[in-house]
Amino acid sequence: MSEEDQIVEMRGGSSWQLPAIVVLGLIAIVGLAFGWSASSKLDSTQQAVAAQLKTTQQAIQQDMSSMKDRLAQDEKANSDLRGDLKVVTDKLKITQGQLKKTRTEAAKLNDETNQKVTALDTSVHSELATKASSEEVKTVDTKVGGVRGDLDATREDLKMAKSEMGTLIARNHDEIDQLRRLGERDYTEFTVTGKNRPEKVANVTVELKGANLKRNQFSIALVVEDKRFEKKNRAMNEPIFFYTSGTHIPEEIVINKVSKDTISGYVSIPKADAQGTPAATKSGN
């Protein structure tokens, strides 16, 4: 081969190597760019996932805290309900015991009255058999009439309506006097005129809030030992019971008359010597 042929061959070989090197360089640059972009996206994705995970953890913690608070509130509400149920159960036991005691006393009073009448009738016949003067007969007749009157009054007492606590409910002044004669409770009659005008009656303050004459209903507010409570749409002759501190037998208020701006009734308070009896009644039930 001649020297000219060698020079032509060398020139022909270098003509395709340079473009190849340029192409490889471009491919390498594109690969580096693609790798850097992928790396940046991976970092961004990791940061987004970490932020979302943190947010989710915070939300879960807040939900758990809220659930704990609600659970504590539910437990407190259940505890309060159990306490209220115990109070109602205890009062129901007292009420049942008082009702049983009242029925027993009423039956005993009726038996005692019948025994007295029988004994007096026997005594009258005995006196009539031994004394014949007209004056003595008149005296005996007077005694018999008096006892019969007492017996009729006692029977009328037993015909009065009784409350759920076993107390007799007076419907007017005469019946209140009959209850006073029994000597078991103290009775204070009152009349409240005008709405929203509190009036002190015995140991309770009574305030008329409204009246429904068509239905013979009324609404009142009571203040007992600085505690105020309202009774709405109550019927006439329907006793309202309330307790004072240190007592086991309830006091009661009964409204007998209702007009547009006036109510009349009485407050009934058990006597002090009767306060000790319900404790034994409660333990016996």
CA 285, CA 166: separation in Å to the nearest integer? 16
Measured in degrees and rounded to the nearest 5, phi and psi for residue 238 equal: -100, 110
CA 119, CA 131: separation in Å to the nearest integer? 18
Architecture of domain 173-284: Sandwich (2.60)
Q: Which secondary-structure segment (H or E) carries 188? A: strand 185-193
CA 224, CA 241: separation in Å to the nearest integer? 11
CA 268, CA 202: separation in Å to the nearest integer? 9
Length of the chain: 285
Q: Which amino acid is at 12?
A: G
pLDDT in tens, the chain (285 residues): 555 555 545 555 566 777 878 888 888 888 888 888 878 888 888 888 888 888 888 888 888 888 888 888 888 888 888 887 877 777 776 677 777 777 787 677 667 767 776 777 677 667 666 664 555 556 655 665 665 555 555 555 556 778 788 789 999 999 999 999 999 999 999 999 999 999 999 999 999 999 999 999 999 999 999 999 999 999 999 999 999 998 889 999 999 999 989 999 999 999 876 665 443 333 333
Q: Which amino acid is at 124?
A: V
pLDDT of residue 133: 54
Beta-carbon count within 10 A of 167 CB: 24
pLDDT of residue 10: 55
Could you tell me the residue ranges of all domains in the chain? Answer: 97-159, 173-284
Rg of the chain over all Cα atoms, to the nearest angstrom: 49
Of residues 235, 240, 101, 272, the one with CA closest to residue 163: 240
Of residues 143, 166, 168, 144, the one with CA closest to residue 155: 168
Helix locations, the chain, DSSP H: 3-130, 134-159, 173-182, 277-284
